[in-house]
Structure 1
């Protein structure tokens, strides 16, 4: 199942990058170009109706289809508007799958999101003089690479319809993921998490579930940030553990093995997603009601973390699942916002003609 999932994601990512088209029509006979124009028109209209300043700030999330996630995104946009009042703030999804399923109303009422290329194109059409893109990724991995490439395509007029003089002067800034830096960022996140979870860590084990990338997608070798975060957290309290859904050798069974090696063979296990929002992974992979695992030494992706640790002899149930995304934790969201401030206070990106130098 996992191989099929990543083959599908890789194909969609390839299509997205090649033709800058991230949302699929419900009618397979629709012309791709007409869809592109329709989505661009929707974004253009939104920008024109909401434009109040000469600066734009684009938040880029992977995406979701859950109402809890939508609420977290909405509150984050409002928090950014309050923190950066001189900017027009917008939100985009980088995942074609999430865009499509949100539009289809997979879990709640249908809602339209658009990928960063449409927003950046729209910003260029109204000629914002300053554009800030803030990655809402947790690690600087595959999805963050896509964010960078979107900005490069925009700076180099990938659509071939923007004013080149404008592109040579517009100021571009990029806010980095939550754990971009191995020391400062990781330690800041560890402290913020402990501030909010210390009461649980004082009573039992706190296992944080990140996403992670499989080896073939481990861009920038970013998976190491999860191990570094566990190390930083355990310096504060040895009851913290950090595992992932997709990072090899750091699945739930690997977390279990580390717990046993440290003598933690019983007690309560509190689960918390280490993802920007509480979506499908948090509700299903972490806190879902699945069958019990057949082998505690193996990672069965159909088995939830709750069922796994409950079967392993720990107290782990609905009462110990903290289904709350990181954007819902104000102290953690503040770290992303600090990255935005750091980007604005730094030097603009030098991406103009970077892909095809003169």
Structure 2
């Protein structure tokens, strides 16, 4: 009996000594938050500063929080890589964060509408959330046009960024990409919101609705003779410089000229304008504040 008591006492001491080590192994990792800005990307050197400016806005708003940039477009990343410039994909950017002690991430969508690019981000975020020995939580912030309140807010922001040289009777046309995705409905919704503020403000898309032809028909019906063309892209990249402002006959600028309407392209992306950027930043704040980490 005495021998059994000694064995039990010895086992108790061993377990007591081992407890801190076991607890340390199973202890939950200390929470640490980070932000990854997810832009479509660009290969146009003159357009890239708009993205850099957005990253700097985020860093200024979240001092002490790690902020990194990724590009969602594989084609753009590959082209940049050939020039010796590496920009990570969303998956690469997220995969690097656990080694830096990060547990919770706000993935900032720098998209305009919740189309395919946005939903790809959502799927990537879900894949990286709660991975063993990885990130605990990854949440994607809303794109520019997402909720009902975004449309009047973005309309006001876009019009505030319109050229100061615009005169009464001159139109402004905001040119977006357009898509077959159901999220294309955001563009007609934006058109409605713009018209409630400015009847000479229009939306046109390269691949969706309203089309270039739709916008030209509306301009001609109103007898407008001059239109300012402004990108509805985060950056004034290839689409803005070619499809919107290019010299090819099927560009919007050329099509307007053929219709007897003077076109004045403005090569500045929406991410360059503080008022528009503020909407993206509001969406990021909502997502970041909801993260469980501190």
Normalised TM-score (structure 2): 0.84
Q: Residue in 1 aligned with 2:13? A: none
Structure 2 counterpart of 1:286, from 215, 234, 244: 244
Quote how far apart the aligned CAs of 1:330 are.
1.1
Q: Deviations over 1:99-122 (max 9, x none)?
A: 0112224xxxx4211101011111
Superposed, 1:14-33 pairs within 5 Å as none
Q: Residue in 2 aligned with 1:336? A: 280
Structure 2 counterpart of 1:250, from 185, 192, 210: 210
In structure 2, list runs of 5 or more residues that go unmatched.
1-30
Supply the distance in 2 between the matched residues of 1:198 and 1:77 (Cα, whole angstroms): 25
Supply the distance in 2 between the matched residues of 1:340 and 1:323 (Cα, whole angstroms): 26
Structure 2 counterpart of 1:56, from 8, 12, 34: 34
Task: State whether residues 265 and 314 of structure 1, in contact with CA within 8 Å, keep that contact through their aligned partners in structure 2.
Answer: no
> Which structure ranks higher in relative contact order (CA pairs < 8 Å, sequence separation ≥ 6)?
2
Quote how far apart the aligned CAs of 1:342 are.
1.2
Q: 1:201 to 1:255 in 2, by over 3 A?
A: farther
Supply the distance in 2 between the matched residues of 1:75 and 1:189 (Cα, whole angstroms): 19
Supply the distance in 1 between the matched residues of 2:246 and 2:253 (Cα, whole angstroms): 7
Q: Does 1:346 align with 2:293?
A: no
- Secondary structure of the residue aligned to 2:222 is coil
Q: Does 1:238 align with 2:238?
A: no
- Secondary structure of the residue aligned to 1:223 is helix
Q: Deviations over 1:38-78 (max 9, x none)?
A: xxxxxxxxxxxxxxx93210000111101122211112111
Normalised TM-score (structure 1): 0.69
Supply the distance in 1 between the matched residues of 2:159 and 2:292 (Cα, whole angstroms): 34
Structure with greater Cα Rg: 2
Q: Does 1:135 align with 2:109?
A: yes
Supply the distance in 2 between the matched residues of 1:337 and 1:57 (Cα, whole angstroms): 12
Q: Residue in 2 aligned with 1:173? A: 139
Q: Residue in 2 aligned with 1:194? A: 159
Q: Residue in 2 aligned with 1:101? A: 79
Quote how far apart the aligned CAs of 1:235 are.
0.7
Supply the distance in 1 between the matched residues of 2:167 and 2:113 (Cα, whole angstroms): 24
Superposed, 1:87-236 pairs within 5 Å as 87-105=65-83, 110-155=84-129, 157=131, 162-163=132-133, 167=135, 170-181=136-147, 183-197=148-162, 199=164, 200=166, 202-214=168-180, 218=181, 221-236=182-197
- Secondary structure of the residue aligned to 1:143 is helix
The more displaced of 111-120 and 133-142 is 111-120
Superposition RMSD on alpha carbons, in Å? 2.0
Quote how far apart the aligned CAs of 1:94 are.
0.8
Q: Residue in 2 aligned with 1:309? A: 256
Task: State whether residues 193 and 332 of structure 1, in contact with CA within 8 Å, keep that contact through their aligned partners in structure 2.
Answer: yes
Q: 1:279 to 1:244 in 2, by over 3 A?
A: same
Quote how far apart the aligned CAs of 1:333 are.
0.8
Q: Residue in 2 aligned with 1:10? A: none
Q: Deviations over 1:274-322 (max 9, x none)?
A: 011110000111111113xxxxxxxxxxx11110101100111xxx111
- Secondary structure of the residue aligned to 1:68 is coil
Task: State whether residues 243 and 252 of structure 1, in contact with CA within 8 Å, keep that contact through their aligned partners in structure 2.
Answer: yes
Supply the distance in 1 between the matched residues of 2:82 and 2:291 (Cα, whole angstroms): 40
In structure 1, list runs of 5 or more residues that go unmatched.
1-52, 292-302, 350-358
